[in-house]
Amino acid sequence: MNFASDNTAPIAPEILAALGAANEGSAPAYGGDELTARLTSQLEAVFERPCHFALVATGSAANGLALSLASPPYGQVLCHEASHITLEEGGAPEFYTGGAKLAGIPGTQGKLTVDGLQAAIDAHPPLPPHVMPRTVLSLTQATELGTVYTPEELSTLTAWARSQALKVHMDGARFANAVVSTGASAAELSWKAGIDLLSFGATKNGALAAELLLVFDDALAEGLAPRQKRAGHLWSKQRFLAAQLLTYLEDDLWLRLAAHANTQARRLSEGLADLPGVTLEAPTEANEVFVHLPAPLQEALRGAGATFYPWHAPGLAPSETRVRLVTHHATAPEDVEAFLAIAQKSV
């Protein structure tokens, strides 16, 4: 009953097999291989357009590279106050951009709104050169509270960003879960909604160490290759990342893996919400459940072998009862049912 993180999940069997197949023989280096060429075509099919992209090993690298393309060192990146880039990337965005400022903005249930963004700017209007210019809006999909932006919400936010001359980046570490949750296409949740750069995650959803930075803005893409090399993320044996992403996207494997994770999270959420003294912090729209569990119930669950973490973040009142439960592509339904059965007996 491990609900600590989707980073604890095994590699999806299909992706593990693809790595073995890619290991046969030799292949051109630095992206000149057949698998990278096939991935290029597959991405075009999934996103309904040609895509500039870079294969990297971590989401932090994808986010940092994206922000470095869109913001000068003296720029400001507007993001949610509890976003991953703000709290949990060890200063990588500032490192990659050469010093751009991350400006955390409050939002409800993990989401930013136009009203909230505009209020933040109105509270501290541009005053060059004293106030760093706002250059990028960064959105997280799914959010740090497990909620999901709809295409309509994204279009509203990106239209506002355009009015402010901002580029828009999406941290899509759990993008697959959001696509499944909304029923929208990859294109509808990205460039069609006004996203310029997408950090497209696969590691949390079945890959070994494979992430994509997709750049939909042709002008921004001009700096992608040299920045990728300078950052130390140009892979000589790129076929092994390409093999993972290609298999991930072919035959909708990425969506099937995410659908399983979302289904298990929804079952957890619905089962817990029916128990006395248990309340949800936010709607369960992807593969994370944020829930308040009384301390005795937490002790009973951990005593029975369950693993999960407490959760604290800016904008949330301090609480000893709030925990995060995360499911993934290999979460066993039996583990979910066992967790709920223990919870029901312990309240």
| 260 and 112 assigned to the same domain | no
- Contacts with 118 (C-beta within 8 Å, 6 or more apart), sequence order: 160
Amino acid at 95: F
pLDDT of 131? 83
Average pLDDT over residues 148-158: 98
| 82 and 162 assigned to the same domain | yes
pLDDT of 106? 96
* Burial of 45 from C-beta contacts in 10 A (0-12 / 13-18 / 19+): exposed
Q: What percent of the chain has pLDDT over 90?
A: 94
Taking 90 as the threshold, does the pLDDT of residue 94 lie above it? yes
Taking 90 as the threshold, does the pLDDT of residue 154 lie above it? yes
Q: What's the number of domains the chain is made of?
A: 2
pLDDT of 53? 97
Taking 90 as the threshold, does the pLDDT of residue 285 lie above it? yes
| 193 and 330 assigned to the same domain | no
CA distance 2 to 4: 6
Average pLDDT over residues 231-255: 96
- pLDDT 10s digits, 157-207: 999 999 999 999 999 999 999 999 999 999 999 999 999 999 999 999 999
| 295 and 333 assigned to the same domain | yes
For residue 39, what are the domain limits?
A: 11-251
Task: Give the mean pLDDT of the chain.
Answer: 96
Q: Is there a domain that residue 139 lies in?
A: yes
Q: Among the three residues 251, 284, 304, which one is the final residue of a domain in this structure?
A: 251
Taking 90 as the threshold, does the pLDDT of residue 105 lie above it? yes
Taking 90 as the threshold, does the pLDDT of residue 68 lie above it? yes
CA 9 vs CA 12, 22, 23, 177, 330: distances in Å: 9, 22, 23, 15, 7
| 283 and 297 assigned to the same domain | yes
Cα angle 218, 212, 253 (rounded to 5 degrees) comes to 120
Band of the pLDDT at 26, cuts 50, 70, 90? very high
Q: Is there a domain that residue 3 lies in?
A: no
pLDDT of 315? 87
pLDDT of 76? 96
- Both tokens of residue 216? 């939909």
pLDDT of 191? 98
- pLDDT 10s digits, 304-331: 999 999 999 898 888 989 999 999 999 9
CA distance 125 to 27: 54
Average pLDDT over residues 127-136: 88
Taking 90 as the threshold, does the pLDDT of residue 70 lie above it? yes
pLDDT of 5? 96
33-38, Cβ contacts within 8 angstroms, sequence gap of 24 or more: 33/238, 33/239, 33/242, 34/239, 35/239, 35/242, 35/243, 35/246, 36/238, 36/239, 36/242, 38/242, 38/246
List the CATH number of the domain containing 204.
3.40.640.10
| 213 and 234 assigned to the same domain | yes
Band of the pLDDT at 223, cuts 50, 70, 90? very high
The pTM of the full predicted model, rounded to 2 decimals, is 0.94
pLDDT of 17? 97
| 89 and 230 assigned to the same domain | yes
pLDDT of 156? 98
Report the candidate in 170, 117, 174 with the shortest Cα–Cα distance to residue 145: 174
- The DSSP code sequence of 65-79 is HHHHHH--TT-EEEE
| 281 and 177 assigned to the same domain | no
| 115 and 235 assigned to the same domain | yes
Query: Is the separation of the CB atoms in 93 and 85 below 8 Å?
Result: yes
CA distance 143 to 287: 11
